[in-house]
Every structure is written in structure tokens, then in C-alpha cells.
Structure 1
Amino acid sequence: MAEAHQAVAFSFQITHEGVHINYDTEILNIVWTSGVRSYRKRFTRSLNNIKNGVFPSSLEFLAAILVLVTACHFVFEIDPSFGFISFASSHFPITSIVKLFDLADSARSIIACFIYGICVWVAKAMVMKYTLRCLLIYKGWMYESHGSGPSLLSQIWVFFMKMLTIKKPLLYSYQGALPRLPLPSVSDTIDRYLMSIRALCENEEDYQRKTKLAHEFRDGVAKRLQKYLIFKSWWASNYVSDWWEEYVYLRSRSPLMINSNFYGIDTLFVVPTSSQTSRAANLVYSCLIFRRLIDRQELKPIMIQGLVPLCSWQYERLFNTTRIPGIETDKLVHYSDSQHIVVLCKNKYYKVNIYFKGRLLLPREIESILDKIVADESQALRGEEHLSVVTAVDRVSWSQTRERYFSRGINKTSLDAIEKSAFVLVLDDVDFEFDEKDPTKLDNYGQTLLHGSGYDRWYDKSFDLIVGRNGRAGFNAEHSWADAPIMAHLWEFILAYDFANLGYDENGRCRVGNGFQPPAATRLKWEFPEELCQTIDKYVIMAQELVVDVDLKLIMFQEYGKGFMKKNRVSPDAYIQMALQLAYFRDSGKFSLTYEASMTRLFREGRTETVRPVTIESAAWVQSMHDQTKTKEERIALLKHACNKHQVGYQNAMCGKGIDRHLFCLYVISKYLEIDSPFLKEVLSEPWKLSTSQTPHGQAGLLDLKKYPKHVSAGGGFGPVADDGYGVSYIIAGEDKIFFHISSKKSSNATDSLRFAKNIMRSLNDMRELLTVAS
């Protein structure tokens, strides 16, 4: 009955005794504070938009210019405007304004000074912004050898960059200055493509066939397709990102679980508390602090070498975002604000308001709400206990079920609560365990975060925050709205903020907060007709078939880390990619098309580009490791040459000189124009047998990782991208640890994650032995 009472905030009755007005002051206060908060956010965003629009200039500089111009005109009797102020003060539209308000001549001059000052300020801001954009177009600094030092041109570039970025930027300050992703020529892309497949071709005849196809495409329909793509690159902020999001992610009809979503793991060597609700409360509060930093644009933009900004566009959809299923394509829906989260506990769903009377709830207050949720002994309804499985099956099935059973009534209301939440918190009913002596526990940890039981994650939300029964945590993230570095930044921030700013008392309970008891959570209500229950039961079987087929292994390599790699003057990323190539060759006896993700966030709205690690140089080195006629010196030379080649390929991808995104966009245009291209069809149908990705760290900057080496996350992973291939994610966790997340499918006779893990460790040890002997 309390819920029914709260549903009526205001009512009135007219009787023979008069008008009776009834209202609930608490509800009206909530509505009032919510409105105030909303308008305060709008005002802050409007002010920030002005600051971002004129960056690297500032509003403070506007005030300085206005004071200077006015002082020159009135005090020193100097005309800094070359006659504009005198002309403007006596001509339209200033004269009309003066007549209307009957202002004195001095007031006319002040208005003219202000108009001139604003014009100077806007002109100066635009010059500074486009100068900064021109500086950011320059990418020569990426290719310079660190050993030889920067060139004179780079030194000049650094000087001007420092001059223009001396002011503290907001999160989106650099967006207007970032250059657009450059469109490479078809000839350059074809040349790079042919170089990338040379080592993959079975024989010379196969290579010549592909070369002929490529040249026919280049000299034929490619010219027409490229013209359309040039037009798009002129008017679109990024000629790739929108099509990549739509056709690679949103139009995919396969299940998100395993095939698309990815996960992240807690710090393994530091467990701050064993209390599930206490840890969850601190992490929820830390997430909301991160969201507030984004809303206020106080989060520092990520900078390379402290000078070059990365695009911050993807942060916008980190919270309050959900993926809505459709028959042909899904859509991403982002809500400007959300004042609640949804908690999934023991297969029941609860709506938790995270604000009370206009302020964010503190950890101890959130903790008390979660304690009551965990203590709730009521049983989940039939259908409710496996409800989230609808987001784990193929998108067409979920779309049809959503339209039929969740488009009206209380089911729609409850589904709206989930989809409009800031994020979903999952209080899992199992322990997340780690034991260096028992690697299977870490494997189970990763599997639980990747897919759980198949029906205890809401895969459509931008991310689920997952906390185990013993206080360890992780996340599961949907991929279409952004790439892994954004979630990695959030994850690193909340783990560091939990340790550095919040903490726990001697009983493992939340330390920050007071004795205030916030309103209890509201359990979401559902209706489950028998037909819907049977549909959900069918989906559970489908999800279980996907879950049991996943072969996921996590390994912690502790023999050495990036310190040894840098000592031998090789890029750590290139070094590990060579180890993966050697391991794959030993695993399968051949080379296969390999995908490595590279970010293109040096450009506006940039996402990723593909680096192709299999090169002529990498293949030559791998083969030399099995050629007894090669000396160690020759193998070392081949290894370093392959690493340098890979690093250049990675830099090219970051600078917009990749292969696959360009060809992908040409393919999309060919489909629009109904043009058949055998070359594009063959290129885009080639399977990626090995998909790799590095998990970034060190972005949050809250903890000195050298001082707290045990507070590094174990990274995260994803499912296999091919039925007979591997998915490998890794994180270089300090000087002496590397975590690998290896996934494949048990149904494939060609793959075995444990076997591949052993080959990776063997390859790393062989490479250390090779370089150690040399040194």
C-alpha cells in the first residue's frame, strides 16, 4: 500500500463543504529537486559547450579583452579598433538601440567596445582552434626513433602544442580541434593489402590470383566507389564509425553473449573486503562519481605523451545506455540522465534510487539498501528466474518476444526501469576465486563474468557491474556503444577510487557515510503467461548450448614482463604479437589471418582499425625458430626486424593508413549501388582465425602502479570470433606479469585453449632464452 500512496502526489476534491486539496510534500519535494537537478545539468552543459567551442581560448580571456579594449578607448584615448568603435557607436544597429533606451554617448561607446571585443575574441579563438587542428594533423612524432631523439620539426611542433594546450581542458575540449580521419587512396590500400597477405598465401599461384583480383578492382569499380566515399569523408565527422557501428554491431543478428560482449576482472592480489554488499556499494558509488565527472566534463581527457589528445566521444554513452533489439537491426538508446540503477539478485530485479532529495547516496546508504535486497527471502517467479536469458539469444528472437510480451502493461514498465537505469548491478550467488596453485579457479572466474549461467546478466545494457558472494568483482560490457579502452578506464578508476578514497572499516563494511536510512529498493513486477514461460525455457536451452561450448583459459605469466622487452629495445606489444604468432604456428602448423585491434582515437569519433600481425618479416622469424641452420644472431635480427615492421603497421593503423576499414566502407557503398565486386567479397569473407587485443591500463592516474604493483587488474577477455579460431586478450600488468585470456570453442577439433596457452608460455620462454643469450 505504500507504493500506491507514493503514486499520488497531488489530488483535490470538490464537495458541498468546499475544495479539499491533498498533496504529498515528500513526493513534490522529490519532483522539485529532480527538476532543479535537471536544469542545473542543462546550464552546466551549456556553459561547458561554450568553453569547448572556443578552446584553447577561454572565457577569462574574453573578460581580459573587454577590459583592455574599454580601457584603451576611455582611459588612454587610443582606438584599438581602427575606427570600428567610432563608426559602430553612430550607425545602425547601435543608434537604434540607443534611441530605444535613451542611452548616453558613453554608453554607446561601451556597447561598441563590447561588440568589438567579442569579435576579436571569437576570431582569436577560431585561429587558435584551427592552428591546433593543423598541429594535430601532424603525425611525424609517432614514427621517430626514441633512441635518436626528436627532430627539429618535432621540437618546434612540441613547442607550439605546449603553448596551445597550457590551459586545463574539459573532457570534450579537444573534440572541435581533432582532425577528421583521413581517407587513403585505393592504390595505397591495395598495396598494403597485398603485402599483408603475402605470407598467408599457400603458393605463388594463389598470390598471383589475388593480386590480379586486386588490380582489377583498383582499376575498375574502385574509382567510382572511392568518389562516393570521398564525398562522405567531407561531410561526416568520421567516414567509418557510423557504418562500423551499424553494420558490424547493430545489424548482427547473432547472440551478444560470447559473440560480442566482453568482460573485465578485479585485482587478484588485493581483496579489500569479503562483504558482497559493502564492496558493491563502494563500486556503485565510484561508478556514479565517474558518471558525474563525465556529466560535468571534469574527467581529464586521455593524452598521449601529455600532448596529443584522444577523442572522448565514446564516454558520452557509457552510462544510461541500452541496446534495443530489432528484426533487421538494433538501435542504441542513450538517456540524458538516470536517477536509479537496477539490481539483479537471486534472479529477482530491484529498482534502487541513487539520489535522495537532490544528493547522491553515500556508500553506507547504498550498502543498507543492498543488505535488505540480499536478505529478501521471497522467491523469484517462474519465468522471472531466467528472464535475462532473452538478452542472451539471437536478436530476432528477443525482438519478437519483446514486442509480444514486453511492449505494454507492467512488463513494459519494469523493462523500462531496466533499460533506463544508469547500469545494472548483479549480486552473484557464487564466489569469484583465485588461487595461483589452481588455475581452474581463474578460468571459472572469467567464464562467470563472460556468460555466467546464461540467464543472470542483462547483456543489452552498456555494462553490468558484477560482484561475487566473497566481495570480488568484475564487469560484462556490451560492445556496440564503445570500445574496450573506455570500459577499462572506468574499471581502473573505480578500483582505484575504492582503494584510495573510500575504503572499509575493521569489519569490512563501508567507511564513508552516515546513519541515514534511505528509502528501500522497489522490486520490479512482472506478468508471465504460460506461453512466455515456455519461450523462456526454450531460450535457456539455447543459451546453455552456447555456454557449454566455450573453452576459456586464463594464464598468468610471471617469468618476466615489459621491463625485459624494453631492455632489448623492442615494443612490448610487437614482442607479444610475435610470441602469439610463434605459438599459433606451433599450435596449428600454419599461419592464419590475424586480427589485432588498434585505436584511431587520434581523430574525431575514431574507434578502431585492424593491424595485421602476419607479415613477411614475422613469418620469416617464426620459421627461423624451427630452422636449425639459422644462428641465434640471425634469429635475433629477424625478430627485431619483425617487431619494427609490426610497430610501423600499428602506427599506420592509428594514423588512418589501415586496410580493413577502408575496404569495409567501399564494400558498404558497393552494396548500396548494387555493384558486385569479387575482390571485396573475397577479402571480407576471409575468416580471422586469431583475434587479439591488448587491455590498456594506467589511464585513471589515481594510483602509482609502481608504488602499488598489486593493484593492477587482471584485464579482461572476449569469446572466439571464429568457430575454429582463438580469441586472445592480454594485459601487461607491470614489470613482471602478463595475463592472457584465451577463448575457443570445444566443438572445434582444430582448437584447444589449454594447448594454445602452453604454446604461448613456451614461446615467451624461448624468446627470453634467445635474447638473454644474445645479451
Structure 2
Amino acid sequence: MAEAHSAVAFNFSVTHEGVSIDYDWELFSILCKAGVRSWKKSISRLVNNIRNGLYPASHRSLVLVWTVLYGGELSKPGFDFSFGASSRVEGFVPQHLAEIHPQLPRCLAVFVTGVGMWSCLSVFRRYMLKALFSYKGWMLESRGKNSKVSLATRLWFVAVRIFEGSSPLLYSYQSCLPSLPLPSVADTMQRYLRSVRALCNDEEFERLTKLAQEFQAGPGRRFQRYLWFKSWWAPNYVTDWWEEFIYLRGRSAIMVNSNFYAADAILMKVTTNQCARAANLIHAAFLFRRMIDFQTLKPILLQGVIPLCSAQYARLFNTTRVPGVETDRIRHSHDSTHIAVYHKGRYFKIITHYRGRLLYPPELQRQLEQVVVDDSKPSSAELYLGALTATDRVTWAVARKEYFRRGINKPSLDAIERAAFVVILDDEDLVYDEKDPDKLDHYAQMLLHGKGFDRWYDKSFNMIIGRNARAGINVEHSWADAPVAGHCWEYCIYTDHARLGYDEDGNTKGYNEFNSRELSIKELPRPIRLKWDINDDCQNVIFKAKADADKILSDVDLHVERFAEYGKRIIKKCRVSPDAYLQMALQLAYFRDQGKFNLTYEASMTRLFRDGRTETVRPCTMESCEWVRSMLDEKATKEEKKQKLVDACNTHQMGYQNAMCGKGIDRHMFCLYVISKYLEIDSPFLKEVLCEPWRLSTSQTPINQTGFLNLDDHPEWIAAGGGFGPVADDGYGVSYLIAGEDNFFFHVSSKRSCPQTDSTRFSKNISQALLEMRDIIV
């Protein structure tokens, strides 16, 4: 009840002596500051939305237009730079205003004309930028010191510089980004058949070709017309359906199957104090959120010119996935001034903003220390509560509605779901030891799934801090893709070490002088232990969810391989894309591991277009298969192997570029399939294509999105990257990171229940493939 009493700003009572009013001026002050903070954010959001709506124009360009028009009016002899527009507008100005001042009607006409000309110019510049950003010729040209840029690309670059605005905000380019283009059915069929040719014998390929031709000439034409209509009114014809049908309508558990993770900078040891590290990382995360809220975070520009869509950043914080019986939904709050903290089975609510400001790291550290020293014990059901978010979505949706939407459970659940994010203070160490690779595997497993009940998997992200102060994040996938979460995490790690830092005792800076700061520990709001009322029926559901989670995580075989024999520096000598090079290594390793080729998935982004997310690249091509066979052919010469490697890499790079440019295969066919389901028309071709298993699913982890990292000067900044669970029951999931010039990290996952797969064995095959490839390129 103490929290309830402290929340009352004033009370009054009526007695025989009159009305007695008791004010709490300190609490009134706190409430006023909180209100001011909210108003500041609202006003800033409004101003930024106006600026983004006007981009690439600005108020300075409006002043310039007015200056030119008024300058012409005042010059001798006068010159009308509006070419008669001001005179026509003057005819609509009430002439009685001349009684106030003879020149007032003319001044108003010039003022309105200037606004009109500026608006037309702004719209023209915006559409010119949208047209210019539709040009993708720059992507097809080689890069490097000796590369020549075509005249068309150079002129395009100059035109972009002319029409773009200055000082763009995070979302300034959104209205300038082109819509995702819709490829023709014929083009998609052609690319699809080429992508599977290497995986089919002549008879199978002939059958697929016939199915594709029948689909193209038959229902495909009708489906395409509906999709064409959607592509005209929707900014992106894929994203909403992709989010709904691939993520939110999935009824299986999201732990392992959907969520992914990112690890720490494992070569760097900044402190061993768990609460201090957590405090710095929490503070850094809120600084990143502030940059998103006020849009001071710079949009990512490829080659300093081409913007990527920033829409996904909006749901990074204050977001949770809410389960439903048929479909989930994403709930996002505009603001949240608290975090939810999990420690040894207990959940706490910690206020992060007090008296209108973000708490400093020492203040956050003291708050977290109160959580750690709290010796209260959770009930057995409370301990496993998080398992509900790890089980299938229907079970969790029914339980949430039945047991957690009334009584004391409702505000406790709301405290977690409305938190900015969830912080996990783990009760075991997260260790990297070069001499014991198994410890890094365990580290990755704890980030991917933990114990199956000690994460809140629905939250946009869980920040996990081990007992030894190593950290990582677990990210829910539906709201965004890995680069956005990775950008935030990279900023947190950098800010933690390079800007915030620790004192000689491993505490946050200023910790020992805490009580002499603006606030003392006694003045801070204390962590609130969340209470739960769990009856026997709910307890049974939780225990079953925990058992289901145990089955899922016990089947995960996850291995992290650090390859430090060579890196990107050597690959450059071959003049091929490092990503394509590593994909070829995966093809060789997979063939050695399984004795055959298989359909391979690589994720590429489509954020060159508005609301873009991902597209599929198919690395297993005819050229890659020819190269793999040459590597196993003792008669093939070194020059032949190298040339076939270059050809395979170039083919792969072309496929990657096509995917980025909206000329992919799988998202188009996915949308055609959705149309077929809406129309209730079965397509044997689409059904077969979308049921093909991805036994090798891969993704590259982006690095240095902040632009702050210099791995040559600071090799300790090398991070281990992150990973995800296996996509197919009998396949591998591989996430890889190009860490600087001389390191690769591979996160390989599979299922223990499959006798044909072994993550450690496959990782060794990747390393062996890379060593063999070095021998043919140097």
C-alpha cells in the first residue's frame, strides 16, 4: 500500500471546522515535470513531422524565396520574379487593405505567391528525389580504387546532391523513397526456374517448367492483376502481409523458432560488476531511444548518398507482441518511463525517468542493486511464468485472457508489456574462453533461449546481463529485422565503454559520489516487486508451458565458430564480394556435410524502398555447384578452380543485387500465394514452391552501423555477432559476421533430434572450406 499512498498528490476532508486540504508540493512538482517532458516530446514530434513532411525543403529555402521575390519588388526598376503570378494573386486580395498601407495588398500577394512557389518547388524536389532513388545502376558498378564510375552514375550522383535537403532527420527520407516495384510473373518464373535448375534432374526440371508455364498463362495473370492494384495504393505490397502471415499468424512457439540474439564484444572486459554493466547499458539504450524520439539519429546512407528506410526504428522500444488465438498483434506505446527487470524468478518494475529526466547510471546501478539483494522468494509458478511466452501462441493467448486480465495480475502484466524493454539479471556467467569453445556455445544458447522461462520472449528485446557482466540481447522478430536491433545494440556497447565507462572499482562513474549528486538513494523511487495471483489451473498451464519449452530448447544444437586464419583482407585479392565468398564456403561445406546440394536461403534487405524488410537470395546456383564439383575434382587446376569461384561469386552477387532492387523471387510468389488463398483458388505450382524446405538458411550480421567502430585500431571491439534457430527440422541455420579484416564468426544451429545434422561438424567443414579457398586465391 505504500506505493498507493505515495501516488496521492493531495487529499481533503470535511470537518465541523470546514474543509481541510493537504498538499504534497514535491509530488506536484514531479507530476508537473513529467507533464512538461511529455509536452516537450509531443511538440518535438509535431515539429519533426512537419519538417519531414516538407523535406527536402526547409524554412530557410522559404525565406530565400521570399527574399528573392521581395528583392525584385524593391529593386529599381522593379522586377517580378514570379512572372506575373503575384499580380494574379493580388487580384484576390481585398483592396480595402490599401487603406491601411498602399503596399499591403501587394506585400500579401507576394507573401502568398512565395509560399505557393516554395510548395511547388518542394513537391518537385521530392518527386525528383524519389525518381532518382529508383535508379539502381550504381549498384551494378564495381567499386575500388581502380574502378571507373560511368557517366550516368556520376550525373545521377550530382543530381541527388542538388535536389536533396540539408540536415535530414531520421524519417526525413521516408516520403522520398520509391515504392517496391512489382516484377512481372514471366520474369519471376524465369528467375525461379534458373535458381532450381542445379537441384533438379532433367525430368524434374521439365515438370517444374510445365507447372510454371501453366501458372503464368493461367491463374498467375489474375493474381498479378490484384497484386498490381495493391502495389499502386500500398507503399509496399509485401510488408504488411509478410508481417501478418509469416510472423503474427504463426501459432508455434517463438522461442528458438522466431526470436534471434546478438552477443557482446567478447574480446573486451570492461567490468565484472553485473549491476554496473546493466546500468550503463540501460542508460545507453535510453539515449538511443531519445535519438529516435527526437529523430536526431542519422538515417543510414549507403555510400553516403542512398538512404535506407527507417520505419522499423519506431517500434524498437515500448513494444510487445500480444498473443491471440488466431493471430497475434503488435502493441506499441509512444512512451514508457520504466523497465521490467527479471532476477531469480522475480519481476520488478524500475522507474527510469524521475523528476522529468533520465536517471544517471549510478542511480540505475543503485536501483538494480536493490533488486539483487532482495531475498524474497518466488513461488514455483511465478518462477516459470516466462515460459508462457515460450510455448505455442494459442496456449499463451487463452491463459493470458483467462488469468492475466483481471485482479493484481493485470497491472503486473501491463508493467512488463508496457515497459521500454526487459532486463534480465542472469544468475550464471556468460563466458568466452578461446581454450574452451564449449563455453561460447553455452553463452550463445543462453542468449537464444535461456532456460525457457527466464526471458520474456514477447518483448521487442530482452537485455541480458550475466553474473560476470557479459551481456547480449534476445529479440522478438515480428516488429523488425536484425539490422535495426543490431544498430541499437552496437550503440549501447560503444557508449558503455567509450563514453560512460567505469571507475577503478568497476562501478559506474560517479557511483561513490552518488549521495552528493542531485538525488540521494533515499529520494529515488524504489523498485516495485510485481505481484501475481496464480491459481491451481493457471499453475498447471505454466508447468505445461515450461515442459514444452524444455523440449524445444533441449533439441537445439548450437555452435559458434571463430575463424581467425584470415579474413576480408585476403578476399579482396580475389576481387569478389566477401559475402558471396562466404556463401560459396557454405555451399562447399554443406556438400561435404550432406553429400548433396540443397535449396539455400540468404536474407537480403529491401530497405532501399519504403517500408522494405527482406527478400530471399538463392545462393545455390548452377555456377556454385560447378565450382564445388571442381574443388572435389583432383584433376582440376588451381586456375580453373579460382575462375569458377569468381564466376560463382559474381552470379551470387548479381542475385543479391536483384533481390535488393526488388527483383527477387520469393516475396513476389509469396504475395501471389496470399492472393490465391483470398480467392480460394488452389495453385499446384505455388503450393509446391512455398513448401520447399530451406535446409540451409543463412544471414549476414551487419557491423559498424553507428560508424563509430575502428576495428583496425581497436581490435578489442570485435563482437561475436548473433544467430537464430534452425529453420528446417533436418537443416542448418547459419548466421555469420565479417569482423574487421581478419576474423569471421559463424553461428551454426540445428536440431539434435536429426541424425543427419551436427552443428560442430558443419562448423569444422566451414573452416576447412575457407582454408581450401585461400589456397586457390593467394
- Give matches, 1:34-49, under 5 Å: 34-49=34-49
Q: Tell me the equivalent position of 2:383.
A: 385
Q: Tell me the equivalent position of 1:544.
A: 550
Encode CA deviations 1:333-368: one digit per residue, 9 max, x unaligned: 111111111111111111111111111111111111
Structure-1 separation of matches of 2:386 and 2:578 = 40
Superposed displacement of residue 261, structure 1 = 0.1
Does 2:456 correspond to 1:455?
Answer: no
Structure-2 separation of matches of 1:222 and 1:152 = 39
Give yes or no for contact 2:58–2:165 (8 Å, CA) kept in 1: no
Q: Tell me the equivalent position of 1:305.
A: 303
Give yes or no for contact 1:497–1:702 (8 Å, CA) kept in 2: no
Give yes or no for contact 1:165–1:307 (8 Å, CA) kept in 2: no
Q: Tell me the equivalent position of 2:716.
A: 710
Amino acid at match of 1:81: S
Encode CA deviations 1:292-327: one digit per residue, 9 max, x unaligned: 000010001111111111000100100011000000
- Give matches, 1:142-157, under 5 Å: 142-146=139-143, 147-157=146-156
Q: Tell me the equivalent position of 2:163.
A: 164
**CA RMSD, Structure 1 to Structure 2 (Å):** 1.5
Give yes or no for contact 2:600–2:618 (8 Å, CA) kept in 1: yes
Structure-1 separation of matches of 2:92 and 2:496 = 62
Give yes or no for contact 2:599–2:620 (8 Å, CA) kept in 1: yes
Structure-2 separation of matches of 1:224 and 1:81 = 50
Aligned mate of 2:679, from 652, 673, 678 = 673
Structure-1 separation of matches of 2:731 and 2:603 = 16
Instruction: Find the residue that maps to 2:735 and give its secondary structure.
Output: strand
Instruction: Find the residue that maps to 1:333 and give its secondary structure.
Output: strand
Superposed displacement of residue 103, structure 1 = 4.2
Structure-1 separation of matches of 2:593 and 2:92 = 83
Q: Tell me the equivalent position of 2:52.
A: 52
Cα gap change, 1:536 to 1:103, in 2 (>3 Å): farther
Amino acid at match of 1:575: Y
Q: Select between 18-27 and 355-364 the one with higher mean Cα deviation.
A: 18-27
Superposed displacement of residue 87, structure 1 = 4.2
Q: Tell me the equivalent position of 1:316.
A: 314
| Number of equivalenced pairs | 767
Q: Tell me the equivalent position of 2:670.
A: 664
Structure-2 separation of matches of 1:748 and 1:216 = 37
Encode CA deviations 1:344-399: one digit per residue, 9 max, x unaligned: 11111111111111111111111110111111111112311111111000000000
Encode CA deviations 1:432-460: one digit per residue, 9 max, x unaligned: 10110100000000000000000000000
Aligned mate of 1:329, from 289, 310, 327 = 327
Give yes or no for contact 2:719–2:739 (8 Å, CA) kept in 1: yes
Structure-2 separation of matches of 1:432 and 1:280 = 14
Amino acid at match of 1:716: G
Instruction: Find the residue that maps to 1:47 and give its secondary structure.
Output: helix
Superposed displacement of residue 80, structure 1 = 2.6
Q: Tell me the equivalent position of 1:130.
A: 127
Does 2:344 correspond to 1:338?
Answer: no
- The alignment-based identity, stated in percent, is 55
Amino acid at match of 1:49: N
Q: Select between 71-80 and 647-656 the one with higher mean Cα deviation.
A: 71-80
Encode CA deviations 1:216-267: one digit per residue, 9 max, x unaligned: 0011100000000000000001000000000000000010100000000001
- Give matches, 1:351-370, under 5 Å: 351-370=349-368
Superposed displacement of residue 555, structure 1 = 0.6
Give yes or no for contact 2:248–2:329 (8 Å, CA) kept in 1: yes
Q: Tell me the equivalent position of 1:571.
A: 577
Amino acid at match of 2:439: K
Structure-2 separation of matches of 1:654 and 1:564 = 26
Structure-2 separation of matches of 1:243 and 1:29 = 47
Structure-1 separation of matches of 2:462 and 2:568 = 31
Instruction: Find the residue that maps to 1:383 and give its secondary structure.
Output: helix
Encode CA deviations 1:461-483: one digit per residue, 9 max, x unaligned: 00000000111000000000000
Give yes or no for contact 1:276–1:470 (8 Å, CA) kept in 2: yes
- Give matches, 1:200-239, under 5 Å: 200-201=199-200, 203-239=201-237
Give yes or no for contact 1:382–1:528 (8 Å, CA) kept in 2: no
Structure-1 separation of matches of 2:118 and 2:238 = 35
Encode CA deviations 1:605-630: one digit per residue, 9 max, x unaligned: 00000000000000111111112232
Structure-2 separation of matches of 1:166 and 1:706 = 34
Encode CA deviations 1:50-96: one digit per residue, 9 max, x unaligned: 2112222211111222233233324554333334434434535x458
Give unpaired runs (5+ residues) of structure 1: none
Superposed displacement of residue 526, structure 1 = 1.1
Q: Select between 266-275 and 31-40 the one with higher mean Cα deviation.
A: 31-40
Structure-1 separation of matches of 2:193 and 2:409 = 54
Does 2:151 correspond to 1:140?
Answer: no
Encode CA deviations 1:683-721: one digit per residue, 9 max, x unaligned: 000000000000000111123222212202110000000
Amino acid at match of 2:207: R
Aligned mate of 1:740, from 716, 739, 746 = 746
When normalised by structure 2's length, the TM-score is: 0.97
When normalised by structure 1's length, the TM-score is: 0.97
Structure-1 separation of matches of 2:85 and 2:595 = 78
| Structure 1 consecutive aligned stretches of length 4 or more whose deviation exceeds 6 Å | none
Superposed displacement of residue 149, structure 1 = 1.1
Instruction: Find the residue that maps to 1:198 and give its secondary structure.
Output: helix
Q: Tell me the equivalent position of 1:581.
A: 587
Q: Tell me the equivalent position of 1:64.
A: 64
